[in-house]
Amino acid sequence: MNRIFLLLCFFITSITFAQISDNVNRAAAGDIPNLQKISHGSGYNGGTMTFFNPPRQVDGSEYLFDDWKNYAVIYTEDNQTFALRNINLNIKQNAFVSKVEGDSLFTFSFNNIDKIQINGRTYKNYYWDDDNRVYEIIFEGDEWSIVKGFKIVEVTGSANPMVNRTRDRLVRKSFYYLKDDKGINSFRLKKSKILKLLNADEAKVEEVENFAKQNDLSFKRENDVRKILEYSSKN
C-alpha cells in the first residue's frame, strides 16, 4: 500500500495534464489522476492499477497491437475528449490498458467511455449474452452494424520433434459479427449477406454492385466492405 501511495504522489507531482486543443486533452503515460478521470468521469474516484511479475515466456502476445506506440482519442460519456499515445487492448482481459511505469498497467473501465479511436479505427464496448466485450466497428448504421471481435487461442507446445512446436503459443483470432435488434451474432463477409442487409430494391442493389466492380472492391475484404457500405449509405 505504501508503495502504491508513493507512486501516486510521484506521478501527481511530476506529470502535467495539458489541453492540446479546445476540447481534446493529452493524457500522458503515467498521468494516473487523469487516466482515472477518463475511465470513471470527473465525479468518480478509482481506476485500477496492476503490478505483476512477468509471466513465463510464451510465443505470441495477448495484446491486439504489437507495440504500445498507438495514438488514441478517447470519447467519454460526459462529452470530454482525450488524446493518449500509450495504449493497447488486452484481448484475454477484454480491456484497454496503458503503461504507467515499467510493467505497471492502468486498466480502463468503460463506465464513462463512449468509444475509443486508435490509429484511425473505432472500438466500442457492448454487453451481450451475459458478456461485456470490446469490438472494432467495421460499419455502423442506424439499424445494424458490422463489428469485429477478438480472441486469444492458446496452443500448447509439444515435446514431439515431429510437431516442431516446443513452446506454448498465443494466437490472435478475429471474428465478424452483425449487431442489430436481435443482438450480436456471427456474420460472414459475403456478397449475398451484405447486399441483403441493404434491404434495397433491385436498382439500388445493382448500383452498389456496379460501384464495387468499378472500384475493384471485394465483399470479402474488410476495408472494401467498409467502402461499399459507406457508399450505399450516402447514395
Note whether 118 and 87 are same-domain residues: yes
Q: Residue 156 has what pLDDT?
A: 79
How far apart are alpha carbons 80 and 206 in whole angstroms?
Answer: 42
- Looking at the 3D structure of the chain, how many domains does it have? 2
Note whether 199 and 97 are same-domain residues: no
Span 163-206, pLDDT tens digits: 566 678 899 999 999 999 999 999 999 999 999 999 889 999 99
For range 137-146, the mean pLDDT: 96
Q: How far is CA 55 from the centre of its chain?
A: 23
Range of the domain at 219: 190-235
Span 204-224, pLDDT tens digits: 999 999 999 999 999 999 999
Q: What is the mean pLDDT of the chain?
A: 82
Note whether 118 and 20 are same-domain residues: yes
Note whether 198 and 125 are same-domain residues: no
Note whether 86 and 127 are same-domain residues: yes
Note whether 112 and 227 are same-domain residues: no
Question: Given strand 169-180, what is the order of strands in its sheet?
Answer: 24-26, 81-84, 72-76, 113-118, 121-127, 132-140, 145-155, 169-180, 183-186
Span 47-68, pLDDT tens digits: 555 555 555 567 889 999 999 9
Note whether 144 and 231 are same-domain residues: no
Span 222-231, pLDDT tens digits: 999 999 999 9
Note whether 133 and 221 are same-domain residues: no
Note whether 17 and 115 are same-domain residues: yes
> pLDDT band at 14, cuts 50/70/90?
very low
- Residue among 154, 152, 51 nearest 100 (CA): 51
Note whether 36 and 128 are same-domain residues: yes
Note whether 118 and 224 are same-domain residues: no
Strands of the chain, DSSP E: 24-26, 48-50, 72-76, 81-84, 88-90, 95-101, 104-107, 113-118, 121-127, 132-140, 145-155, 169-180, 183-186
Note whether 90 and 179 are same-domain residues: yes
Q: Residue 12 has what pLDDT?
A: 37
Q: Is the pLDDT of residue 113 over 70?
A: yes
